[in-house]
């Protein structure tokens, strides 16, 4: 799993049942919107996410419609597994003294 995908997954894990919209996820993950949306599509195609469109009138609300995403049960399990694996990898890295060159 790439770092941007891992960051996207972790943006869901503090409250896995909560729906979040794309820009909110991008901000939480520290990613650009152009990066987060392809990741969300891939996760949805893999069955990790469900999504729905906002049911608003953009003219009344004064903002564009949003697409909301939520982890599925499989998505919660996979996200937790990938997050644990990443923490284990970070915990086993050896830190060298001095400069790398």
Q: Is 98 left (phi over 0), alpha (psi -120 to 50) or beta?
A: left
pLDDT tens-digit profile of 18-55?
999 999 999 999 999 999 999 999 999 999 999 999 99
Q: Is residue 58 part of a domain?
A: yes
Domain membership of residue 9 as a residue range: 3-89
CATH number assigned to the domain comprising residue 11: 1.10.10.10
| pLDDT given for residue 97 in this prediction | 52
pTM of the model: 0.79
In this prediction, residue 93 carries a pLDDT of 53
How many domains does the chain divide into? 1
Query: Is 25 part of a structural domain of the chain?
Result: yes
User: In this predicted model, what pLDDT tens digit does every residue of 66-76 receive, in sequence order?
Assistant: 999 999 999 99
In-domain check, residue 94: no
Does residue 84 sit within a domain?
yes
- Bridge partners of 20? 69
Tokens of 79: 């996200």
Structural domain contains residue 32: yes
Look at residue 76 and tell me if it is in a domain.
yes
């Amino acid at each position: 799993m790439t770092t941007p995908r891992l960051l996207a997954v972790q943006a869901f894990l503090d409250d896995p049942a909560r729906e979040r919209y794309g820009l909110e996820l991008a901000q939480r993950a520290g990613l650009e919107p152009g990066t987060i949306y392809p990741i969300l599509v891939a996760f949805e195609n893999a069955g990790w996410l469900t999504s729905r469109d906002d049911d608003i009138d953009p003219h009344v609300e004064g903002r564009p419609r949003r697409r909301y995403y939520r982890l599925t049960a499989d998505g919660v399990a996979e996200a937790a597994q990938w997050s644990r694996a990443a923490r284990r990898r970070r915990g086993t890295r050896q830190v060298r003294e001095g400069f790398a060159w």
